């Protein structure tokens, strides 16, 4: 059983957003094509959302773009919403993270419909062992989600064409880290 995991394809991480990444729109549109492909063969399609209320030092007026960032993905703002290409009706579940803390990995989140269910519990409960991971940003939330998925025992493929990085240097390091941890980079 295989799931497609769409990490943080939100307006603030796409061009024009508070932390827009260059390839955000392209990635959103290509992921949407997969969502609508009748031959996609995924047993589940899920998405994560960076979902901030007051995440402390994760936000800064003078961000270092490593551990602190401009204000982004605040609950109730358009920036926290999915890119318009993403079809929410074709998501089996959404996992939200980071209300009161920095949270890079989707595995730190909880189901939008039930706070008590983690992403690992949800996937294991459906017999899903294999994940295809896509989204934004390759070098931060995709990387953290993939490393946690491997720790949770999932077999992971990273679909690099469907991922958008913050910066090419940290992207290269992240791809190397994910590969060394056991992910297949495709």
Residues taking part in catalysis: 8, 97, 141
Residue 8: strand, helix, or coil = coil
Query: Which residues from 148-167 bind Zn ion, rule CB under 5 A?
Result: none
Per-residue contact string for residues 29-68; x = within reach of Zn ion by CB under 5 A:
---------------------x------------------
Neighbours of 39 (CB within 10 A): 5
Shorter beta-carbon distance to Zn ion: residue 54 or 161: 54
Q: Least distance (Å) from Zn ion to the CB of residue 161?
A: 24
The Cα-based distances of 114 to 28, 48, 118 in angstroms read 26, 14, 9
Q: Least distance (Å) from Zn ion to the CB of residue 119?
A: 17
Q: Least distance (Å) from Zn ion to the CB of residue 73?
A: 6
| Rounded Cα–Cα distance for residues 77 and 12 (Å) | 10
Contact by Cβ (8 Å): 9, 79: no
């Amino acid at each position: 059983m295989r799931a497609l995991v769409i990490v943080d394809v939100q307006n603030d991480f796409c061009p024009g957003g508070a932390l827009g990444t260059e390839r955000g729109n392209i990635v959103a549109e290509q992921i949407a094509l997969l969502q609508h492909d009748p031959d996609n063969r995924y047993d589940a399609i899920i998405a994560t959302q960076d979902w901030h209320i007051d995440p402390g030092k994760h936000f800064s007026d003078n961000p270092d773009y490593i551990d602190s960032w401009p204000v982004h993905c605040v609950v109730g703002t358009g920036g926290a919403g999915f890119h318009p290409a993403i079809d929410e009706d074709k998501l089996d579940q959404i996992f939200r993270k980071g209300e009161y803390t920095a949270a890079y990995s989707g595995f730190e989140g909880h189901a939008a419909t039930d706070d008590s269910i983690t992403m690992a519990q949800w996937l294991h409960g459906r017999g899903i062992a294999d994940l295809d991971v896509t989204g934004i940003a390759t070098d931060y939330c995709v990387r953290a989600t993939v490393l946690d998925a491997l720790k949770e025992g999932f077999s992971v493929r990273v679909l690099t064409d469907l991922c958008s990085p913050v910066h090419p240097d940290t992207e290269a390091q992240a791809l190397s880290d994910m590969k060394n941890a056991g992910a297949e980079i495709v």
